[in-house]
Chains A and B, each alone.
Chain A
Amino acid sequence: MNRVLTCEEASRRFFSYLDRALSGAAADEMEAHLEACLDCCDKLAFSRQLDAFVKTRLPDAPPPADLERRIRDRLTREGGASPGDAPGALPPTADRVLDGGDQACGELLLAVKSTLDAMQAGEVLKLICHDPGARVDLPVWCGMTRHRLLWSDEDVYYIRRRTS
């Protein structure tokens, strides 16, 4: 049995109701109140109008034409080296390690695939392999398969398993 709301209680929840943020029971209480109270229906309708009114008057300027280029330049210039950065700058730790040895591309990718398939979404694989072709093939393969190559250096690669 739902509680009966007073008009004051109902009006405090108007915006949460409009934002669809009320849970089942709270939403039911609100709807029961609205069915019985015309005054609150009018006030709720005004709250909705007010929200729509504010939204349509918010500034909506497109970014300056060259902003994207300037951001790209800065990412290239400063993005790689970030000594002393916040802890968030560190890639996560590897959840599994695969030593691919000297396997060539085809074999290696099969081994990487089956290892990633056995891992959880979002986990990180550290791959060690000595085939120089991997430096070209792995980024391409990751791009195609939507796994993410987080980092690589010589013969070590960190790949995050895709989430879906």
Chain B
Amino acid sequence: MDRSVPSATHPAARAEFEALALPHLPHLYRLAVRLTGAAADAEDLVHETYMKGLRSFAALRDVERMRPWLSRILARLVLDRRRVDERELLVGDLAVLDQFSLYDLITSEDPFPYSDTVHQDFLAQFDSEEVVEALLALPEVYRVPLVMLYTGDLSYAELSELLGCPVGTVMSRLHRGRKLLERALWEFAKRRGLIRTWEP
């Protein structure tokens, strides 16, 4: 093995990186906006992703995997920016959360008594801002894998590598992330007076 490899990035390598990586800018920017919720933060994040990508470019074995590779760098930056704080994981009783069912609540509260499609009607009440607000309120450990999945980026196996946890944990995080989202939508509906739940 020869270990005398210098560390500078050659202009030829940079030109190749730009040619292969910059076509993925719209995708990375979209992912960044979804993960940060703010255009300025998204720009910073994308800048950082490309800088880090160039510096690690030589380590990418298969250039066909450029997009998921860059997406993973971006997600890692988000996760590292805020080291997961134990408090963030306090989302209430997990056993209760796991069983939370927006479907059952809509069925029992029946907010649109004359509708045959009460569940769809319920969802139709929400606009993009409310969904984004609910997503951004999720702790990062749930939000990052969920947004990556929704944006079509990574498989469960790749998410498990990104998050450094077994696939079983990825499954439960994706499940809980969605349950938290369901719960947030229910809370929105209550605040809007859509649901008149009797509370002691």
CA distance A102 to B2 in the complex (A): 21
The answer to whether A139 and B132 have CB atoms under 8 Å apart is: no
The answer to whether B34 and A54 have CB atoms under 8 Å apart is: no
CA distance A42 to B1 in the complex (A): 60
The answer to whether A163 and B33 have CB atoms under 8 Å apart is: no
Contacts A92-B5, A160-B58 given; does A149 touch B132 at CB 8 Å: no
Task: Tell me the B50-109 residues at the A interface (CB within 8 Å).
Answer: 50-52, 54-56, 58-59, 61-64, 98-99, 101-104
Among B3, B8, B9, B131, contact of A58 (Cβ-Cβ < 8 Å): B131
CA distance A14 to B102 in the complex (A): 13
Residue B43 interfacial (CB < 8 Å): yes
List A contacts of B132 (CB < 8 A).
57-59
CA distance A149 to B9 in the complex (A): 11
Among B1, B9, B149, contact of A94 (Cβ-Cβ < 8 Å): B1
Q: By CB atoms of chain A within 10 A, which of B10, B101, B123, B175 has the most?
A: B10
The answer to whether B123 and A90 have CB atoms under 8 Å apart is: no
Contacts A53-B123, A57-B128 given; does A91 touch B58 at CB 8 Å: yes
CA distance A11 to B179 in the complex (A): 11
Count class of interface residues, chain A: 35 or more
List B contacts of A86 (CB < 8 A).
52, 55-56
CA distance A153 to B123 in the complex (A): 60
Contacts A71-B47, A160-B58 given; does A61 touch B126 at CB 8 Å: no
Residue A103 interfacial (CB < 8 Å): no
Contacts A12-B175, A89-B56 given; does A71 touch B64 at CB 8 Å: no
The answer to whether B2 and A97 have CB atoms under 8 Å apart is: yes
List B contacts of A151 (CB < 8 A).
5-6, 8-10, 13, 58
Among B51, B59, B181, contact of A75 (Cβ-Cβ < 8 Å): B51
List B contacts of A92 (CB < 8 A).
5, 58-59
Residue A2 interfacial (CB < 8 Å): no
Interface of A is mostly: mixed
List A contacts of B115 (CB < 8 A).
none
Shortest Cβ distance from A86 into B: residue:
B55
Residue B171 interfacial (CB < 8 Å): yes
CA distance A12 to B1 in the complex (A): 50
CA distance A42 to B107 in the complex (A): 11
Q: How many A-B residue pairs have CB under 8 A?
A: 191
Task: Tell me the B131-149 residues at the A interface (CB within 8 Å).
Answer: 131-132, 135, 147, 149
The answer to whether B34 and A58 have CB atoms under 8 Å apart is: yes
What are the interface flags for A95-110 relative to B under an 8 Å C-beta threshold, 1 for contact and 0 otherwise?
A: 1010000000000000
Shortest Cβ distance from A83 into B: residue:
B7
The answer to whether B178 and A15 have CB atoms under 8 Å apart is: yes
List B contacts of A15 (CB < 8 A).
171, 174-175, 178
The answer to whether B171 and A21 have CB atoms under 8 Å apart is: yes
List A contacts of B10 (CB < 8 A).
80, 149-153
Among B51, B104, B120, B155, contact of A74 (Cβ-Cβ < 8 Å): B51
The answer to whether B99 and A75 have CB atoms under 8 Å apart is: no
Shortest Cβ distance from B56 into A: residue:
A88
List A contacts of B64 (CB < 8 A).
163-164
The answer to whether A67 and B149 have CB atoms under 8 Å apart is: no
Task: Tell me the A25-50 residues at the B interface (CB within 8 Å).
Answer: 42-43, 46-47, 49-50
Selected A-B contacts with CB under 8 Å, 13 pairs: A43-B103, A47-B178, A57-B126, A64-B43, A67-B29, A75-B50, A83-B7, A122-B61, A149-B12, A150-B13, A153-B6, A163-B63, A163-B64
